[in-house]
Amino acid sequence: MLRHLLTIAIRNILKHFNYSILNILGLAIGISSFLFILIYVTDELKYDRFHENHEQIYRMNRLYDSNDINEDAATMSFPFGPALAADYPDMIKSMVRFFDFQVSEMLFENLEDSTNVLKFNEEWFYLADSNVFQMFTFPLLEGDPATVLNRPNTIVLSESTAKKYFGDTPAIGKSLRMEEQIVFEVSGIMKDLPEQSHFKIDMLASLSSFRALQRGQFPQTWIWNPCWTYVELYDNITQEQLEAQLADFHLRQYADFKDQKITLYMQPLTDIHLQSHHEYEMHPNGKLSYIRILSIIGIFVLILACINFMNLATASSSGRGREIGMKKVAGARKVQLRAQFLGESMIITFLSLLL
Protein backbone atom coordinates (compact mmCIF):
# COMPACT_ATOMS: atom_id res chain seq x y z
CA MET A 1 0.00 0.00 0.00
CA LEU A 2 2.72 2.43 1.00
CA ARG A 3 4.83 1.56 -2.02
CA HIS A 4 1.79 2.07 -4.27
CA LEU A 5 1.10 5.52 -2.81
CA LEU A 6 4.76 6.55 -3.15
CA THR A 7 4.84 5.32 -6.76
CA ILE A 8 1.76 7.37 -7.61
CA ALA A 9 3.19 10.40 -5.82
CA ILE A 10 6.47 10.18 -7.76
CA ARG A 11 4.58 9.80 -11.04
CA ASN A 12 2.51 12.90 -10.31
CA ILE A 13 5.64 14.87 -9.40
CA LEU A 14 7.21 13.90 -12.73
CA LYS A 15 3.95 14.60 -14.54
CA HIS A 16 3.83 18.14 -13.13
CA PHE A 17 7.58 18.60 -13.51
CA ASN A 18 7.69 22.41 -13.83
CA TYR A 19 5.53 22.90 -10.77
CA SER A 20 7.56 20.35 -8.82
CA ILE A 21 10.91 21.95 -9.70
CA LEU A 22 9.62 25.39 -8.75
CA ASN A 23 8.32 24.09 -5.45
CA ILE A 24 11.48 22.14 -4.66
CA LEU A 25 13.79 25.07 -5.46
CA GLY A 26 11.70 27.56 -3.50
CA LEU A 27 11.56 25.35 -0.44
CA ALA A 28 15.25 24.40 -0.77
CA ILE A 29 16.33 28.05 -0.86
CA GLY A 30 14.20 28.85 2.18
CA ILE A 31 15.39 25.87 4.23
CA SER A 32 19.06 26.27 3.30
CA SER A 33 18.99 30.01 4.07
CA PHE A 34 17.41 29.30 7.45
CA LEU A 35 19.94 26.55 8.24
CA PHE A 36 22.94 28.70 7.28
CA ILE A 37 21.68 31.52 9.48
CA LEU A 38 20.93 29.07 12.30
CA ILE A 39 24.46 27.63 12.14
CA TYR A 40 26.01 31.12 12.21
CA VAL A 41 23.81 32.33 15.08
CA THR A 42 24.48 29.15 17.09
CA ASP A 43 28.21 29.59 16.51
CA GLU A 44 28.11 33.21 17.72
CA LEU A 45 26.20 32.24 20.86
CA LYS A 46 28.79 29.59 21.78
CA TYR A 47 31.65 32.05 22.31
CA ASP A 48 33.82 31.32 25.36
CA ARG A 49 31.57 28.52 26.59
CA PHE A 50 34.33 25.94 26.08
CA HIS A 51 36.01 27.11 29.30
CA GLU A 52 35.16 24.64 32.05
CA ASN A 53 34.38 27.39 34.59
CA HIS A 54 32.93 29.96 32.18
CA GLU A 55 29.88 30.60 34.37
CA GLN A 56 32.11 31.86 37.22
CA ILE A 57 34.57 33.97 35.20
CA TYR A 58 34.13 37.73 34.78
CA ARG A 59 36.10 40.60 33.31
CA MET A 60 36.46 43.76 35.37
CA ASN A 61 35.49 46.98 33.60
CA ARG A 62 35.49 50.62 34.61
CA LEU A 63 33.30 53.58 33.73
CA TYR A 64 35.19 56.87 33.98
CA ASP A 65 33.21 60.12 33.91
CA SER A 66 35.20 63.22 34.83
CA ASN A 67 36.45 66.47 33.32
CA ASP A 68 34.38 66.12 30.15
CA ILE A 69 35.80 62.63 29.57
CA ASN A 70 33.37 59.73 29.41
CA GLU A 71 35.13 56.40 29.01
CA ASP A 72 33.67 52.91 29.37
CA ALA A 73 36.81 50.78 29.30
CA ALA A 74 37.72 47.10 29.37
CA THR A 75 41.12 47.58 31.01
CA MET A 76 42.34 48.14 34.56
CA SER A 77 45.59 49.16 36.24
CA PHE A 78 48.36 46.72 37.19
CA PRO A 79 47.67 46.87 40.96
CA PHE A 80 43.88 46.62 40.60
CA GLY A 81 43.61 42.84 40.17
CA PRO A 82 45.93 41.79 43.02
CA ALA A 83 44.33 44.35 45.36
CA LEU A 84 40.81 43.13 44.56
CA ALA A 85 41.78 39.48 45.04
CA ALA A 86 43.55 40.29 48.32
CA ASP A 87 40.57 42.24 49.69
CA TYR A 88 37.99 39.53 48.90
CA PRO A 89 39.75 36.15 49.21
CA ASP A 90 36.50 34.49 50.32
CA MET A 91 34.81 35.48 47.05
CA ILE A 92 37.56 35.46 44.42
CA LYS A 93 39.07 32.08 43.64
CA SER A 94 41.68 33.42 41.21
CA MET A 95 42.65 36.50 39.21
CA VAL A 96 44.44 36.80 35.86
CA ARG A 97 45.74 39.85 33.99
CA PHE A 98 46.60 40.11 30.30
CA PHE A 99 48.96 42.76 28.91
CA ASP A 100 50.23 43.44 25.38
CA PHE A 101 52.72 46.34 25.68
CA GLN A 102 49.96 48.45 24.03
CA VAL A 103 51.30 47.89 20.52
CA SER A 104 49.55 46.25 17.57
CA GLU A 105 52.43 43.94 16.58
CA MET A 106 55.69 42.57 17.94
CA LEU A 107 58.64 41.32 15.88
CA PHE A 108 59.85 37.84 16.88
CA GLU A 109 62.78 35.90 15.48
CA ASN A 110 64.02 32.34 15.83
CA LEU A 111 67.55 32.33 17.25
CA GLU A 112 68.18 28.61 16.82
CA ASP A 113 69.44 28.77 13.23
CA SER A 114 71.85 31.65 12.56
CA THR A 115 71.99 30.81 8.85
CA ASN A 116 68.23 31.01 8.38
CA VAL A 117 66.72 33.43 10.89
CA LEU A 118 62.91 33.35 10.73
CA LYS A 119 61.23 36.65 11.57
CA PHE A 120 57.50 37.31 11.91
CA ASN A 121 55.37 40.19 13.12
CA GLU A 122 53.00 38.74 15.72
CA GLU A 123 49.65 40.42 16.33
CA TRP A 124 48.22 38.05 18.93
CA PHE A 125 50.97 38.20 21.57
CA TYR A 126 50.12 38.73 25.24
CA LEU A 127 51.68 38.43 28.67
CA ALA A 128 49.60 36.88 31.45
CA ASP A 129 49.76 35.85 35.09
CA SER A 130 51.18 32.38 35.69
CA ASN A 131 47.81 30.87 36.70
CA VAL A 132 46.20 31.66 33.34
CA PHE A 133 46.07 27.98 32.31
CA GLN A 134 44.31 27.09 35.56
CA MET A 135 41.54 29.67 35.16
CA PHE A 136 40.99 29.33 31.42
CA THR A 137 40.65 26.13 29.41
CA PHE A 138 43.60 26.62 27.07
CA PRO A 139 44.66 22.95 26.62
CA LEU A 140 48.42 22.41 26.73
CA LEU A 141 49.99 19.86 24.41
CA GLU A 142 53.32 20.23 26.22
CA GLY A 143 54.05 21.80 29.58
CA ASP A 144 52.52 21.83 33.07
CA PRO A 145 49.60 24.30 33.46
CA ALA A 146 50.68 25.11 37.03
CA THR A 147 54.30 25.97 36.22
CA VAL A 148 54.60 26.68 32.50
CA LEU A 149 54.68 30.47 33.04
CA ASN A 150 56.03 30.71 36.58
CA ARG A 151 59.42 32.10 35.49
CA PRO A 152 60.30 35.38 33.76
CA ASN A 153 61.04 35.26 30.03
CA THR A 154 59.10 32.06 29.39
CA ILE A 155 56.57 31.78 26.60
CA VAL A 156 53.87 29.37 25.43
CA LEU A 157 53.21 29.06 21.69
CA SER A 158 50.10 27.89 19.92
CA GLU A 159 50.56 24.68 17.95
CA SER A 160 50.48 26.47 14.58
CA THR A 161 52.90 29.17 15.77
CA ALA A 162 55.38 26.57 17.02
CA LYS A 163 55.32 24.88 13.61
CA LYS A 164 55.80 28.25 11.92
CA TYR A 165 59.05 28.90 13.78
CA PHE A 166 60.42 25.41 14.39
CA GLY A 167 58.71 23.12 11.89
CA ASP A 168 58.41 19.55 13.14
CA THR A 169 61.38 19.80 15.52
CA PRO A 170 60.69 20.02 19.29
CA ALA A 171 60.14 23.64 20.36
CA ILE A 172 60.41 23.24 24.14
CA GLY A 173 63.59 24.88 25.42
CA LYS A 174 64.15 26.81 22.19
CA SER A 175 64.58 30.60 22.16
CA LEU A 176 62.68 33.44 20.47
CA ARG A 177 63.82 37.05 20.58
CA MET A 178 61.28 39.88 20.70
CA GLU A 179 62.04 43.23 19.10
CA GLU A 180 65.77 42.34 19.14
CA GLN A 181 65.78 42.86 22.91
CA ILE A 182 64.02 40.27 25.08
CA VAL A 183 64.80 36.57 24.68
CA PHE A 184 62.02 34.15 25.63
CA GLU A 185 62.40 30.45 26.30
CA VAL A 186 59.61 28.27 24.91
CA SER A 187 58.17 26.46 27.94
CA GLY A 188 54.92 25.09 26.54
CA ILE A 189 52.78 24.39 23.48
CA MET A 190 49.02 24.88 23.57
CA LYS A 191 46.30 23.89 21.15
CA ASP A 192 45.16 26.56 18.72
CA LEU A 193 42.22 28.34 20.31
CA PRO A 194 38.78 27.62 18.85
CA GLU A 195 37.13 30.28 16.73
CA GLN A 196 34.46 30.70 19.40
CA SER A 197 36.75 32.66 21.70
CA HIS A 198 37.05 36.40 22.28
CA PHE A 199 40.73 35.68 22.97
CA LYS A 200 42.96 35.56 19.90
CA ILE A 201 46.27 34.22 21.20
CA ASP A 202 49.24 32.84 19.28
CA MET A 203 51.89 33.57 21.93
CA LEU A 204 51.45 33.88 25.68
CA ALA A 205 54.41 34.96 27.81
CA SER A 206 54.80 35.23 31.57
CA LEU A 207 53.69 38.58 32.99
CA SER A 208 56.66 38.43 35.35
CA SER A 209 58.79 39.13 32.25
CA PHE A 210 57.42 42.67 32.26
CA ARG A 211 58.10 42.98 35.99
CA ALA A 212 61.72 42.04 35.31
CA LEU A 213 61.93 44.94 32.86
CA GLN A 214 60.58 47.25 35.59
CA ARG A 215 63.41 46.47 38.03
CA GLY A 216 61.51 43.64 39.68
CA GLN A 217 58.29 45.53 40.36
CA PHE A 218 55.04 46.05 38.47
CA PRO A 219 53.90 49.65 37.93
CA GLN A 220 52.08 50.78 41.09
CA THR A 221 50.12 53.64 39.59
CA TRP A 222 46.33 53.37 39.38
CA ILE A 223 46.18 55.98 36.61
CA TRP A 224 47.63 53.79 33.86
CA ASN A 225 45.13 51.08 32.88
CA PRO A 226 46.71 48.64 30.38
CA CYS A 227 45.54 45.26 31.75
CA TRP A 228 42.54 43.13 30.89
CA THR A 229 41.67 41.73 34.31
CA TYR A 230 39.58 38.60 34.90
CA VAL A 231 38.36 37.07 38.14
CA GLU A 232 36.97 33.62 38.83
CA LEU A 233 34.46 33.46 41.68
CA TYR A 234 33.86 30.53 43.98
CA ASP A 235 30.87 28.39 43.00
CA ASN A 236 28.73 29.71 45.86
CA ILE A 237 29.45 33.38 45.03
CA THR A 238 27.39 35.40 42.55
CA GLN A 239 28.26 38.42 40.43
CA GLU A 240 25.86 40.56 42.46
CA GLN A 241 27.59 39.68 45.73
CA LEU A 242 31.00 40.90 44.58
CA GLU A 243 29.64 43.92 42.73
CA ALA A 244 27.98 45.01 45.97
CA GLN A 245 31.49 45.36 47.45
CA LEU A 246 33.02 47.36 44.60
CA ALA A 247 31.83 50.75 45.87
CA ASP A 248 33.68 50.23 49.18
CA PHE A 249 36.71 48.89 47.33
CA HIS A 250 36.71 52.05 45.21
CA LEU A 251 36.64 54.30 48.26
CA ARG A 252 39.63 52.51 49.77
CA GLN A 253 41.82 52.04 46.73
CA TYR A 254 40.94 55.13 44.72
CA ALA A 255 41.33 57.59 47.58
CA ASP A 256 43.57 59.80 45.44
CA PHE A 257 40.80 60.13 42.83
CA LYS A 258 37.96 61.44 44.99
CA ASP A 259 37.13 64.18 42.49
CA GLN A 260 36.79 61.69 39.64
CA LYS A 261 33.70 59.57 39.09
CA ILE A 262 34.86 55.99 38.55
CA THR A 263 32.39 53.11 38.54
CA LEU A 264 33.69 49.55 38.70
CA TYR A 265 31.59 46.68 37.38
CA MET A 266 31.82 43.07 36.19
CA GLN A 267 31.00 41.50 32.85
CA PRO A 268 30.37 37.75 32.39
CA LEU A 269 32.95 36.07 30.18
CA THR A 270 30.27 34.71 27.84
CA ASP A 271 28.79 38.19 27.27
CA ILE A 272 32.00 39.75 26.00
CA HIS A 273 31.85 38.70 22.35
CA LEU A 274 28.33 39.98 21.60
CA GLN A 275 27.68 42.55 24.33
CA SER A 276 31.01 44.29 24.82
CA HIS A 277 32.07 47.30 22.78
CA HIS A 278 34.13 49.18 25.33
CA GLU A 279 37.23 51.24 24.89
CA TYR A 280 40.42 49.16 24.63
CA GLU A 281 38.84 45.82 23.75
CA MET A 282 41.36 43.13 22.78
CA HIS A 283 39.83 43.30 19.30
CA PRO A 284 36.43 44.26 17.80
CA ASN A 285 33.63 41.99 18.97
CA GLY A 286 30.39 40.88 17.36
CA LYS A 287 27.05 42.58 17.94
CA LEU A 288 23.99 41.02 19.55
CA SER A 289 21.72 43.29 17.49
CA TYR A 290 23.07 41.70 14.29
CA ILE A 291 22.33 38.24 15.68
CA ARG A 292 18.76 39.25 16.48
CA ILE A 293 18.24 40.75 13.02
CA LEU A 294 19.68 37.65 11.33
CA SER A 295 17.47 35.39 13.44
CA ILE A 296 14.37 37.35 12.41
CA ILE A 297 15.45 37.23 8.76
CA GLY A 298 16.03 33.46 8.96
CA ILE A 299 12.60 32.79 10.48
CA PHE A 300 10.94 35.15 7.97
CA VAL A 301 12.62 33.42 5.00
CA LEU A 302 11.56 29.99 6.27
CA ILE A 303 7.95 31.11 6.81
CA LEU A 304 7.91 32.74 3.36
CA ALA A 305 9.19 29.53 1.78
CA CYS A 306 6.50 27.49 3.57
CA ILE A 307 3.76 29.90 2.49
CA ASN A 308 5.02 29.76 -1.08
CA PHE A 309 5.03 25.96 -0.89
CA MET A 310 1.43 25.87 0.38
CA ASN A 311 0.24 28.37 -2.25
CA LEU A 312 1.79 26.36 -5.07
CA ALA A 313 0.40 23.13 -3.65
CA THR A 314 -3.08 24.66 -3.39
CA ALA A 315 -2.90 26.02 -6.94
CA SER A 316 -1.75 22.65 -8.22
CA SER A 317 -4.47 20.69 -6.44
CA SER A 318 -7.19 23.02 -7.73
CA GLY A 319 -6.04 22.24 -11.25
CA ARG A 320 -6.23 18.50 -10.63
CA GLY A 321 -9.99 18.34 -9.99
CA ARG A 322 -10.59 16.06 -12.95
CA GLU A 323 -7.94 13.62 -11.72
CA ILE A 324 -9.44 13.60 -8.22
CA GLY A 325 -12.97 13.12 -9.59
CA MET A 326 -11.92 10.16 -11.71
CA LYS A 327 -10.22 8.53 -8.73
CA LYS A 328 -13.33 8.97 -6.61
CA VAL A 329 -15.44 7.36 -9.33
CA ALA A 330 -12.91 4.51 -9.43
CA GLY A 331 -13.47 3.96 -5.71
CA ALA A 332 -10.63 5.93 -4.11
CA ARG A 333 -11.38 7.00 -0.57
CA LYS A 334 -10.61 10.42 0.97
CA VAL A 335 -7.90 8.88 3.14
CA GLN A 336 -6.12 7.53 0.07
CA LEU A 337 -6.33 10.87 -1.74
CA ARG A 338 -4.98 12.70 1.31
CA ALA A 339 -2.19 10.15 1.63
CA GLN A 340 -1.27 10.69 -2.03
CA PHE A 341 -0.99 14.47 -1.68
CA LEU A 342 0.82 14.10 1.64
CA GLY A 343 3.28 11.72 0.00
CA GLU A 344 3.95 14.20 -2.81
CA SER A 345 4.54 16.97 -0.26
CA MET A 346 6.89 14.78 1.78
CA ILE A 347 8.92 13.81 -1.29
CA ILE A 348 9.20 17.45 -2.39
CA THR A 349 10.26 18.45 1.14
CA PHE A 350 12.82 15.62 1.26
CA LEU A 351 14.29 16.63 -2.11
CA SER A 352 14.44 20.25 -0.90
CA LEU A 353 16.40 19.15 2.18
CA LEU A 354 18.83 17.20 -0.02
CA LEU A 355 19.49 20.31 -2.08
Give the tens place of pLDDT for each residue, 284-333.
888 999 999 999 999 988 888 777 766 655 655 544 545 544 444 444 45
Residues 6+ apart with CB under 8 A from 32: 355
Query: Could you tell me the residue range of the domain that residue 337 belongs to?
Result: 2-45+291-354
Q: Are 309 and 21 in contact (CB under 8 A)?
A: no
DSSP string, 7-21: HHHHHHHHHTHHHHH
Residue where one domain finishes, among candidates 286, 308, 336: 286
pLDDT by position in tens, the chain (length 355): 445 444 555 555 555 555 666 666 767 778 788 889 999 999 999 999 999 999 999 999 999 877 677 889 999 999 999 999 999 999 999 999 999 988 889 999 998 776 777 899 999 999 999 999 999 999 999 999 999 999 999 999 999 999 999 999 999 999 999 988 889 999 999 999 999 999 999 999 999 998 877 766 778 888 899 999 999 999 999 999 999 999 999 988 887 776 678 899 999 999 999 998 899 999 888 899 999 999 999 998 888 877 776 665 565 554 454 554 444 444 445 554 454 554 455 555 554 445 5
Residue 354's Cβ-count burial label (10 Å; 0-12, 13-18, 19+) is exposed
CA–CA separation, 144 and 163 (whole Å): 20
Cα–Cα distance, 3 to 5 (Å, whole number): 5
Nearest-angstrom CA–CA distance, 234 and 57: 9
Number of domains in the chain: 2
CA dist 13 and 99 (Å) reads 64
Listed in sequence order, the residues at least 6 apart from 156 whose beta carbon sits closer than 8 Å to its beta carbon are 133, 140, 143, 148, 149, 186, 187, 188, 189, 190, 203, 204, 205
Buried b (16+ CB within 10 A) or exposed e, 18-52: ebbeebbebbbbbbebbeebeeebeebeebbeebe
Displacement of CA 4 from its chain's centroid (Å): 51
Taking the C-alpha atoms of residue 31 and residue 271, their distance in angstroms, rounded to an integer, is 29
Q: Are residues 30 and 97 in the same domain?
A: no
Contact indicator for 305, 26 with CB cutoff of 8 Å = yes
DSSP for 112-170 reads S-TTS--EEEESSEEEE-TTHHHHS---EEES-TTTTTSSTTEEEEEHHHHHHHHTTS-
Helix, coil or strand: residue 66: strand
* 153 and 300 share one domain: no
pLDDT digits (tens, 9 = 90+) for 257-270: 766 788 999 999 99
Residues 78, 83, 88, 89, CA torsion sign: positive
For residues 27 and 73, membership in a common domain is answered with no
Q: Based on the domain organization, do 66 and 191 belong to the same domain?
A: yes
The pLDDT tens digits of the residues spanning 144-185 come to 999 999 999 999 999 999 999 999 999 999 999 998 888 999
Co-location of 141 and 238 in the same domain: yes
Pair (36, 113) in one structural domain:
no
The 8-class DSSP code of residue 231 comes to: E
Give me the pLDDT at residue 5, please.
Answer: 47
Point out the domain boundary residue: 234, 253, 286: 286
**Chain-centroid distance, C-alpha 60:** 19
Torsion from C-alpha of 221, 126, 73, 63, nearest 10 degrees: -50
Domain end (from 262, 286, 310): 286
Question: Are 248 and 298 within one domain?
Answer: no
Judgement on whether residues 264 and 319 belong to the same structural domain of the protein: no
Q: Going by C-beta distance under 8 Å and a sequence separation of 6 or more, which residues neighbour residue 121?
A: 105, 106, 107, 108
Indicate whether 92 and 10 sit together in one domain.
no
Q: Are residues 40 and 58 in the same domain?
A: no
Are 147 and 282 found together in one domain?
A: yes
Residues 138, 62, single domain; the answer is yes
The phi, psi pair for 100, rounded to 5°, reads -130, 20
